């Protein structure tokens, strides 16, 4: 049986771990070739060995436009085309607004929002020039809509990603380029590893999720596959929240829980 992404090639940022790596596994299983991009060169090269000739790697800082442009060009040079992209690179810091270190605030915004904008800019240029359309998926978060104390930089960045996705879909539709988002709930990734050290916090996230479990990176990868494949051919401009219905209950009060 042919895969849903046979003959296609794409980029996945944040591809060395977590959601990005799960997307790579899912896409390659469906016939795609993938440029895995991450700033962690050692981990990137380690995981790439799993995929053989179906994968190439690009060490990239998504906040550096020259790096992003080079990543896109490397994908074209390696695979001859770009059909889809998953913009997944992100990180977060925890601080109240009144005590927030501004260098940390800017670093989170630069990675989570500016980095996505730069990736969309150059991925979309390549797809437009290719003349065959394409699909871009930006990884947002339930925090695009749910406020969380201590996460001002992250929440504001992810809210920006959702709006950027909507605007990009309007601007790029005429070129046959679809732009959609995914808003994960609490998912087991390196970004949420702190919850394994503090089980009370992990329990709070599970309690706020009606489906009763933490998400897996594969849950998000399955949604991403739908959006970049022909199955999602009429979806653009929307953000799909994959969260076990946690947005319907609100965000746990982490500060109070951790200090109790």
Of 154, 157, 229, 251, the active-site residue reads: 154
SS3 197: helix
Of 141, 208, 229, 236, the active-site residue reads: 141
**88 CB neighbour count, 10 Å cutoff:** 31
Distances (CA, A) of 131 to 17, 128, 134, 138, 204: 32, 5, 9, 21, 48
154 catalytic residue (yes or no) = yes
Of 17, 88, 157, 158, the active-site residue reads: 158
94 catalytic residue (yes or no) = no
The DSSP result for 29-91, as a single string, is: HTT-EEEEEES-HHHHHHHHTTTGGGEEEEE--TT-HHHHHHHHHHHHHHHS---EEEE----
Q: Quote the CA–CA distance of 254 and 150 in Å, as a whole number.
A: 9
Catalytic residues: 141, 154, 158
């Amino acid at each position: 049986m042919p895969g849903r992404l046979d003959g296609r090639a794409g980029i996945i940022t944040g591809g060395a771990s977590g959601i990005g790596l799960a997307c790579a596994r899912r896409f390659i299983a469906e016939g795609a070739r993938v440029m895995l991009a991450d700033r962690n060169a050692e981990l990137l090269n380690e995981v790439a060995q799993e995929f053989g000739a179906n994968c190439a790697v690009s060490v990239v800082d998504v906040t550096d436009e020259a790096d992003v442009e080079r990543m896109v060009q490397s994908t074209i040079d390696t695979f001859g085309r770009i059909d889809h992209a998953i913009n997944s690179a992100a990180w977060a810091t925890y601080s109240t607004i009144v005590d927030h270190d501004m260098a940390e605030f800017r670093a989170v915004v630069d990675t989570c929002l500016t980095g996505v904008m730069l990736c969309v800019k150059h991925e979309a240029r390549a797809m437009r020039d290719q003349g065959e359309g394409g699909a871009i998926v930006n990884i947002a978060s339930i925090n695009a809509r749910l406020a969380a104390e201590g996460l001002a930089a992250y929440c504001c960045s992810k809210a920006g990603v959702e709006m950027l996705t909507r605007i990009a879909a309007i601007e790029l539709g005429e070129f046959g380029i679809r732009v959609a988002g995914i808003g994960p709930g609490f998912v087991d990734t390196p970004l949420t590893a702190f919850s394994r050290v503090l089980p009370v916090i992990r329990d709070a996230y599970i309690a706020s999720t009606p489906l009763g479990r933490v998400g897996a990176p594969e849950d998000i990868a399955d949604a991403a596959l739908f959006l970049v494949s022909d199955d999602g051919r009429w979806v653009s401009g929307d953000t799909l929240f994959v969260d076990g219905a946690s947005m319907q209950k609100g965000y746990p009060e982490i500060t109070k829980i951790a200090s109790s």
